[in-house]
Structure 1
């Protein structure tokens, strides 16, 4: 039996690339792009330099270089690549939106910073910040980055600068990988088991950390290649900024399971002499998330519920739509609870805001960017406008438009308004033509025929390109490429349009999406690098129910059609028993075992995990006695043969 039959591809919370794409065939900014970017300089308050003061306030020290490697010598984080062309004293090049460039200049400010007494952050060592709270004896660490290597480097650096202290607790603010993946670099499972290190999280953290991207993990992972831009070349025509940080690190993320979950707003903890009070905010920026108040320091930790950008209501990599109204309501609760007391607010990305007179207005605009997007999108929706129409109509009032912390560096008003529409109305926009419309490849051929053929379409599109009509060129040429994916002229023109749209984008993810699309049109789909499947820690944290739900979406219905059988599985270490049933080309699981299965397996969940991790094969597990099988083994082999293996590098900009 091929060991890959039970090797599961799961959980792409973030895709972590291992190499950068070559900067091949990138073209300069067009005259229209130069004009568009120059207009941004006139439209926004670039003379306001407060963010630059705040991003550098409390600076203590920084390493000479920030290039972090794993134990094999592979680079997992390299800020130096960005520092060669991004600095605080350089004007935006023609190929970068000046507002995005400004954000990159701020985010690249790195090193060790003092937030307030006993609170420190190391910034610029990963996509997110790592925060250290100085207790009586040790460090309480908030959100230990993506990679163990980057988290350890940050811990080593703060110990070097401020004196060595042990880690006594790690607090996860929420269930996204850039807030827990590095935990294994600063603590061990043995330290957690002994109580030497506490792991604190919001309730349901583990469930969401493990499962959020399991079911749709392959598709989300592929699209994350586009969203995060980590494979783009490091130059002014490539990756500039991810909106929340420069990009993502590439280490093997770990997961230390919580020893205590916060279950209600107002719950208080005292750890190593540090008093904390928590506000649960489920369903805001993450399905499991919480803010933290430090009453003795009048400091408010905002997790990722308020960063110095408009955030995503729906991420471009794909996810469930977030609730903009709930998000705004939680921020309102924060203002009412601690706003008048807070002397500093800080969070897992970007830089803090100090002083109550600045914090309350900041919070109100953060609240209102989500409330405005929700309310005005729903208003237009109820007037009969579709998501696409709403995104074209909706505009921010001047007080939000001219406010740097609500600019669209990560989320955008255009795609967030569509997300609000999607949450309420779904994919169908009400027009009967779109109820059963043709898929892209079929419609593309028809369009080309109706529009006079490929040569005529390319000629007309080139004329539109020469007028700077890049959105229109992208709309038309996607059909040309899908009608004839071998057409080099069609792919080149579409890539050129994507590239100029990327150069104009204020959002880091939008820029990355366009430029990755341009790269793949010109060079083809990558075949290696870029993927990071679920780590061993993530796989071992899966429950049997999570595992079986994932097996169900891997079931090839054509192979399962007409088959009816039961498989009993007893997990000896969990003392739990399951039946997997195939019928109607659907896989079900139940803890109500059938009395007479077609095949029965007895094993530990640890053995199942070892098989998933390819530490040994299913047949080897039978031979060494770690799996006991009875009944029709061929039936089980047939079941394994029904499970799909997903191709990560599926096409996106070509059929």
Structure 2
């Protein structure tokens, strides 16, 4: 087996630069689920309290439409579908009882796809992925901002652009930020050889490469598994299934690529003239992404707000997991955008969702989102400082948004939610601990569940209590009881079935698309088992990750409890990258260092980096790696094998709602 054909598992599969998981094999949701009476009542209550519909979003989400693909299905080179433009065509007419009416209304606008004109020289391809591709007419070619998630989706988008507007070369490519749905399709837009030769500049915010390759490396397997819940990648789109992601439809399942930038922007106000077009940048790093900028397209008076402003409240902490974002800084950057750029912009566009047209409308739209983040931050901190816990704060703020904010559709929680974000702000300042000593050293979930079920009077009584909660429409309490019962007695089929039902009803009621996905994914896991991920590695991403990051990531696989040899040193000479490193294998930890080879090592490995990856992440036997082209191993090969034997296999997913 060659390294090119290896599946190196979740941590190296996409190396976690995506804010999402790769597509999983689609599974059917449980058969013929229906909304309960309590859910129907909840949906009616939501519908009765929604803001006035107005005409803005309906008009702006379709304004400037020029064309879309005749064939809605985008295929990869093997002829397999990676995207279906028509997947959400079912969203029409009144909301069914199984979908929150606010989310249904949101998807009626979000489902549109095709090429749209924004200004005289600016267009967007929307609906070809979870993100948007922005096209600017330059003097000689197309300037492309955010080339989607996959090569195949990006190629299809560019084919539509050239077929509709006239064929032109791509003269520059810009990444707005360091998440994979904004750079993964790079090779579908430009040839890396043209970038290397200096014919096509690639511009990104300062720190882009470091953040794109390292943000999620260490916690990659956990993040990918959780992301499958967040994005509902095992669910089928439908009125009883997946309803998009809140900021887009699904996520294309094609090939992830990455072409490193040739130019980076460091400060707000920095400018570039790109293929004759004057651009000004606003640095907003540390908000939605650790490296991010917005772009003011000066000649066309168009402001790209990247992902700090979209058609939804965003996440201060994503359910998939990430470092907590700074809500106060987010609001400050939105204030700068609203006061510095919106007043001179005839259109405000985003890398997700649809534009806002008109200077007054754009300024008001950015200001409302600013106020939403600021309200969330300040009210969380106010309550936190008077002693409320994160759960109390979230509950208190969930339905407390000022009427002015609630009336603006884009501040609704179709992606992030007040509940989740309030807890994130609390965590940003105080961490997970609420200062109650009982929570300082509580039993882990399974042990706690066993004790709790015993205290409640056993499984049958717990089931009866849960059934009463279900009958009363208290699905939150029912799922709390039943999740503990499933943890305590995972073979209890009645508990699992009822828990799935409680999760399903909460999914049906959720306004947030990704809350819906998580509830319905949990229900599917309980009734059908966990789907198997099918994530292929991205050679571009692996090549871009620093060797130090890879050594540190390999160290997180070290299992010191395993018997075997310890206390030795491995020298590493990577011939293809002209890098040297060493690993010290101790009793408790592995320490990796880049630099000169140690004067004395127990074993020295020389060869291409792909061979080192085969050893550390695939755990290929040393004898097999020694036979690879360009590899030599000097010294004690048994020590190198001891290192391999001390590493865990790459995680391949794990259960969430069962022990």
- Between 100-109 and 595-604, report the one with greater CA deviation: 595-604
- 2:290 and 2:140 map into 1 onto residues whose CA distance is 33
The offset of 1:37, in angstroms, is 0.8
Aligned to 1:194: 197
The 3-state SS of whatever aligns with 2:626 is helix
- Between 353-362 and 90-99, report the one with greater CA deviation: 353-362
Is 1:324 equivalent to 2:327 in the alignment? yes
Aligned to 1:371: 374
The offset of 1:362, in angstroms, is 1.0
Aligned to 1:244: 247
Aligned to 2:165: 162
Is 1:253 equivalent to 2:263 in the alignment? no
Say whether the 8 Å CA contact 2:170–2:190 is kept in structure 1: yes
Aligned to 1:486: 491
Say whether the 8 Å CA contact 1:465–1:473 is kept in structure 2: yes
Is 1:547 equivalent to 2:553 in the alignment? no
Q: Write the deviation string for residues 549-607 of structure 1: whole angstroms up to 9, x where unpaired.
A: 10111111213788211111123344332121122411112235431111112224365
- 1:609 and 1:163 map into 2 onto residues whose CA distance is 44
- 1:571 and 1:559 map into 2 onto residues whose CA distance is 28
The offset of 1:339, in angstroms, is 2.7
Classify 1:59/1:209 alpha carbon distance in 2 versus 1 (closer, same or farther; 3 Å).
same
Is 1:37 equivalent to 2:43 in the alignment? yes
- 1:41 and 1:313 map into 2 onto residues whose CA distance is 27
The offset of 1:621, in angstroms, is 5.0
- 1:419 and 1:344 map into 2 onto residues whose CA distance is 32
Say whether the 8 Å CA contact 2:87–2:237 is kept in structure 1: yes
Is 1:396 equivalent to 2:396 in the alignment? no
- 1:387 and 1:561 map into 2 onto residues whose CA distance is 45
The offset of 1:622, in angstroms, is 3.0
- 2:536 and 2:437 map into 1 onto residues whose CA distance is 40
Say whether the 8 Å CA contact 1:555–1:642 is kept in structure 2: yes
Classify 1:564/1:493 alpha carbon distance in 2 versus 1 (closer, same or farther; 3 Å).
same
Is 1:25 equivalent to 2:31 in the alignment? yes
- Alignment of structure 1 residues 457-606 onto 2, 5 Å: 457-526=462-531, 528=532, 530-559=533-562, 563-590=566-593, 591=595, 593-605=597-609
Say whether the 8 Å CA contact 2:7–2:537 is kept in structure 1: no
The offset of 1:63, in angstroms, is 2.3
The offset of 1:282, in angstroms, is 1.1
The 3-state SS of whatever aligns with 1:626 is coil
Aligned to 2:449: 444
Among 23, 47, 51, the alignment partner of 2:53 is 47
Q: Write the deviation string for residues 302-354 of structure 1: whole angstroms up to 9, x where unpaired.
A: 11111111000000111110110111111122233223211111010011111
Aligned to 2:126: 123
Q: Alpha carbon RMSD of aligned pairs, Å?
A: 2.1
Say whether the 8 Å CA contact 1:2–1:617 is kept in structure 2: no
Unaligned residue ranges in structure 1 (runs of 5+): none
The offset of 1:613, in angstroms, is 9.3
The 3-state SS of whatever aligns with 2:354 is coil
Q: Which aligned runs of 4 or more in structure 1 are off by greater than 6 angstroms?
A: 1-6, 610-617
Say whether the 8 Å CA contact 1:536–1:613 is kept in structure 2: no
- 1:339 and 1:47 map into 2 onto residues whose CA distance is 24
- 1:292 and 1:561 map into 2 onto residues whose CA distance is 55
- 1:607 and 1:198 map into 2 onto residues whose CA distance is 32
- 1:368 and 1:645 map into 2 onto residues whose CA distance is 47
Aligned to 1:59: 65
- 2:185 and 2:97 map into 1 onto residues whose CA distance is 37
- 2:262 and 2:624 map into 1 onto residues whose CA distance is 35
Count of matched residue pairs: 650
- Alignment of structure 1 residues 131-210 onto 2, 5 Å: 131-210=134-213
Say whether the 8 Å CA contact 1:444–1:480 is kept in structure 2: yes
Aligned to 1:110: 113
Unaligned residue ranges in structure 2 (runs of 5+): none
The offset of 1:261, in angstroms, is 1.2
The 3-state SS of whatever aligns with 2:562 is helix
- 1:218 and 1:631 map into 2 onto residues whose CA distance is 34
The 3-state SS of whatever aligns with 2:340 is helix
- Between 570-579 and 147-156, report the one with greater CA deviation: 570-579
- Alignment of structure 1 residues 248-327 onto 2, 5 Å: 248-327=251-330
